[in-house]
Amino acid sequence: MFTVHTEANAPEASRPILQKVRSNYGMVPNLHGVLAGSPGALEAYVALSQALGNTGLSPAEQQVVLLAVSVENGCTYCVAAHSTVAKGGKLFDDATLAALREGQALPDARLEALRAFTTTVVRERGFAGDEAVSAFLAAGFTPAHVLGVITGVALKTLSNYTNHIAATPLDEAFAGQKWEAGVAR
């Protein structure tokens, strides 16, 4: 039903975006290939990915958000992909990455506050409540970081739901971090 597009068979408007993705990553991940079926969806995903980098969250903090959302949503594709990014970038030690993948508390208090807040935002569909926001801010984050978490949730909602519906096949590049634990609760 869903095609994993390439630069050769994607809709014309998606082709330059896929070319840029290949240039940036050395490959076109299957998620991007699926999203290419709708140039607007692909463009939105790429734009949100870039925007996340401008939220004040560090690369490690961004991966905490992206993994926490993906674990909570049970997205096997995105957990594997972001685990690969985190491991390749040496963003976390093995224990932290394992805890993230299991939806468990992180050993670093600040990162745990970020993971917990992100999970609450997803579970409560944005109605995190004053207590959760206050705890997040007390951990040293700012209101701008709250908006950064929301940006990450939007990004991963787009990709997680796409992967669920399209059954996006896992890229070989991410196979070493395959994840099948399902939805963390």
* Tokens, residue 137: 């801010």
pTM here is: 0.94
Q: What is the per-residue DSSP string for 132-161?
A: HHHHHHHTT--HHHHHHHHHHHHHHHHHHH
State pLDDT tens for residues 28-79: 999 999 999 999 999 999 999 999 999 999 999 999 999 999 999 999 999 9
pLDDT value of residue 31: 98
What is the pLDDT confidence band of residue 185, given thresholds at 50, 70 and 90?
A: very low
* Burial of 66 (C-beta count, 10 Å sphere; 0-12/13-18/19+): buried
pLDDT of 150 > 60? The answer is: yes
How is residue 8 written in tokens? 């050769």
What is the SS3 assignment for 153? helix
pLDDT tens digits, 74-117: 999 999 999 999 999 999 999 999 999 999 999 999 999 999 99
DSSP 3: -
* Residue 184: pLDDT over 80: no
